[in-house]
Chain A
Amino acid sequence: MIKCPFCGTNQVANTIFCSECGVYLLEDERRGTEALDVDPKNWSDETANEVLAAWDKKKSGTIVVRLKIGEKQREVETTLVKSVHLGRLDPASDVFPEVDLTNDDGLGKGVSRRHARILKRDNHVVVEDLGSINGTFVNGKRLAPYIPEPLNDGDQLQVGTLMIEVSLG
């Protein structure tokens, strides 16, 4: 038996979240993100209008986001319903990014727990930096925090120093 530190109820061994109050019960060794010397690559960037115009041609409907992550090119795919968060899982602080970059050396590559999110806005896909320490880049251009920028098929997304290839379909 383990005792929930938040509400005091007894929980069976190996329980991950308290059945009464929902608090995370495991000890956690996840660390905060360190600031890195991030060197953006200056690829030429399309203007926002060009990207939006390209998207206008595409019919609206469900958008599938496919990401190829890091050197290992790990691939994940999700249908964009609301938003897809990118970051590092930290259940103790209620951070549950849909795309958890912990195992892509997220910590070493300066990925914040709450780093960026990809979302749909008026049938366009945009990416927003969530005030991350080491920044979010689209094709080498650093995003201003909390200002969503268009994300296009084939774009190179960079979170901290982790490179992610984006395909949208």
Chain B
Amino acid sequence: MVSTILNASLQTLYMVFFSTLLSVIIGFIPAVILTLTAPDGLRPNKPVYEVLSFLVNVFRSFPFIILLVIIIPFTRFVAGKSIGTTAAIVPLTVSAIPYIARVFETSLRETDPGVIEAARSFGANDWQILFRVYIKESIPRMLNGIVLLTISLVGYSAMAGTVGGGGLGDIAIRYGYQSYNTDYLIICSVILIIFVQAVQMLGNYLYKKLS
């Protein structure tokens, strides 16, 4: 039992860590494009903004379990296989990208327009404003977004069991719920609670430190 749960914990950590990391890196790009092309952005561009915004919404409206299944061919293409812990990272990342893109966009666009105007008045160009003002000022808010994402990915990773992803959620469902083994259910849940708490506390600490 101990080794099963330890193994599952590591699988959860593995899935959550890599899907968070990848989605943050990839999701940052549409977030920046959305921020730049928004009506109040540095390079307002209605068609680009509307299309990208629509795509983000489309991907966000898929229930995760459905997304998991319909992108199996894509998962196979990227991960080389469609089942297993590593393969589960693909749908987790795909579902997290539009979410984090929207969160980052909101964080970036919350930057005080007065500060942007001040930067412009001192002769800053658009790139300098993007990096030295927008991104720099938004880091604590974006960090909060990453914490929220990590925590919801812990929940999603439980469903990854459907494609053989393993993890604590999977053990809780199969060994605990379906096999009427309450011990597994409780232990897995407690570990997940501790995990979520730890992420939140680390996030709060970093937010304080960075802002």
A, B assembled together: no
Q: Interface on A for B, CB 8 Å cutoff? A: none
The residues of B with any CB-CB pair to A shorter than 8 Å are none
